[in-house]
Amino acid sequence: MEEHIKLFQKHNLRVTPQRELIYKVLSSSKEHPTVEAIFDEVKKLYPSISLNTVYKALEMFAHKGIVKRLIVGINIYRFDANIYPHAHIMCMECKQVDDIDGKLSGFTEDIKQEVNINSDYEVTSVDILLYGSCKKCNARG
């Protein structure tokens, strides 16, 4: 059985051709795409699909915890099929989002535990998002 089908079943997600395609498009991207970018790709293979269907599927995936939804602005989301804790950096010029590997990844779990212990909140997710300018934009001056 394909990995994503196992993942869907584990989280009680009904497997539909649309959902499979949306998940595949997202998991094959390293770019932390927006809903619109995912929609553009999915549409090529499934022309009748609507933006709303793609949006709802992604919200469902995020709710079930099989994808990560990054809030990068007011009502602006980017999606990531890599749910292993890791930090991100966004270029303020071109809005490219990249993973930051290394020490910061473990940090997200430490923050979660510390806040769970020291506050009245139960932390459900931790996003570390840094802002900067990428190499390409820097070179452009």
Q: Which of 68, 27, 24, 62 is nearest to 44 (CA)?
A: 24
Of the pair 46, 107, the CB lying nearest Zn ion is at 107
Residue count, binding to Zn ion (CB under 5 A): 9
* Single-letter residue type at 78: R
| C-beta separation of 25 from 41 below 8 A | yes
For Zn ion, the binding residue among 13, 21, 42, 134 (CB under 5 A) is 134
41: contact with Zn ion by CB under 5 A: no
- Residues 1 to 40: which contact Zn ion by CB under 5 A? none
| C-beta separation of 60 from 79 below 8 A | no
* Single-letter residue type at 19: R
Nearest distance from residue 50's CB to Zn ion, in Å?
26
What residues make contact with Zn ion under the rule CB under 5 A?
80, 82, 91, 93-94, 96, 99, 134, 137
